[in-house]
Amino acid sequence: MVNYSGSGLDRTFAALADPTRRAMLAMLRKGSRSVSEIAQPFPMSLQAAMKHLDVLSHAGLITRKKEGRKVACALRPRPLKAATRWLKRYEQISEERLDRFEAYVEQLQRGESA
């Protein structure tokens, strides 16, 4: 299901293509959490939740650190930044299109032929 080879962006986007994994990352925005705290809200086995954490870890989106008897997971925002940078190149396109569309609407409002 998830691409384990491929580049950083391949792994980041593949990891983000699952709602459970996105929800896990959202939990970690507030700070680090133990594996059991992260797994708790999801209607799945601890084993299944840990597989999702494996994918996130392999994509470099989280770090895992043993703290006594618990494993603490923390968000690692760098790969998300790279993904955002890739996507931002397209943001401009929507804005350019919107600008053109607005100019067209204004032209129509002034009663000029389009």
Residues in region 8-37 near a second copy by CB under 8 A: 9-11, 13-14, 16-19, 22, 25-26, 29
Strand order in the sheet with 70-75: 33-34, 70-75, 62-67
Measured from the CB atom, the residue of 37 and 96 that comes closer to a second copy is 96
Q: What gap in Å lies between CA 67 and CA 30, rounded to an integer?
A: 19
Which range binds a second copy by CB under 8 A, 7-15, 37-45, 63-71, 104-112? 7-15
For the bound state, the minimum distance from the C-beta of residue 69 to a second copy, rounded and expressed in Å, comes to: 27
Nearest to 74 by CA among 24, 11, 21, 32: 32
